[in-house]
Amino acid sequence: MDIVIPLFDNFEPLDAIGPYEILGYVPGATVRFVTDRPGLVKDVFGNMPVHVPTRYAEVERCDVLLVPGGGSYRTMVEDPEFLAWVRRIHATTRFTTSVCTGGVVLGAAGLLDGLSATTHYAAAPELEAFGAVYTAERVIRHDRVITSAGVSSGIDMAVRLAALLSDDVTAQAIQLYTEYDPQPPFDSGSLAKAPDEVVERARGLR
């Protein structure tokens, strides 16, 4: 089972590494990163370079395509060759998925036209500009297309995907092994819950 995650400079670390950690435990699965030019790919903070040896163009098919976000999504959206590759790969995937602003990439590739979808709340207008209907849910599935909201929601999506690729008991075992049992100290993880001053502070984090 081949799971492919494209990485470009300025990717959001948890967008990619969260699902990588979960899906790596799916029986029979191989999770690998691809990029445009093999070598070190920098995360958005610049302190966690990942060596990626494979060009995305070398991949002709995979079982799962998972597109993460972060600042890298702009590079992907503005690269017509990459978007054409996404469409080509999607034609034969079991599942095509996204985390955070990776959803905008799927939209730019024409995969979300007319569908409800989610992304990081700040990117909702861009998602809708590509024909999707932004919906403030953590994970949304339409058959084999799955989008997840901002950053940490990729772990939720990956656990659900693990169940689809194996079975519910296996997915729950992976959740237990990774002790994914969120108990955040604050209830401010969505626009619907966060006070105005928290929303304003969050806008300044980038």
> Which has the closest alpha carbon to 66: 191, 164, 154, 156?
154
| Active site annotation includes 100 | yes
Q: Where are the alpha helices (DSSP H) in 109-147?
A: 124-129
Structure-token match 């691809």, residue found:
34
17, 100, 105, 162: the catalytic one is 100
**What are the C-alpha distances in Å from 12 to residues 18, 28, 82, 120, 186?**
10, 27, 19, 12, 22
Q: Give Cα 131 to chain centroid, integer Å.
A: 19
Q: Read off the tokens for 41.
A: 């790919």
Pairing of strands 145-148, 139-142: antiparallel
Tell me the two tokens of residue 131: 């024909």
CA distance 155 to 157: 5
Catalytic residues: 100
